[in-house]
Amino acid sequence: MPHDTQLIFADHLGRFYARQYGFPPMAGRLLGYLFVCDPPQQTIDELSEALLASRSAITGAVKLLESYRMARRTRAAGERVDRVSLNPVSQQPQHFDSAVHKEHAELFREGLALLADAPPERRAPLEEMIALAEFLAARLPALLDEWHTHRDQLRASMSQPTSTG
- What pLDDT digit, counting tens, does each position of 59-104 carry? 999 999 999 899 999 998 998 999 999 988 776 666 788 888 999 9
Which H or E run includes 85? strand 83-86
* pLDDT, position 163: 65
- What pLDDT digit, counting tens, does each position of 107-149 carry? 999 999 999 999 999 999 999 999 999 999 999 999 989 988 9
Q: Which residue, among 87, 13, 29, has the nearest Cα to 61 in the 3D structure? A: 29
**Separation CA 136–CA 102 (nearest Å):** 9
Sign of CA dihedral 101, 20, 10, 65: negative
Which CATH code for domain 4-87? 1.10.10.10
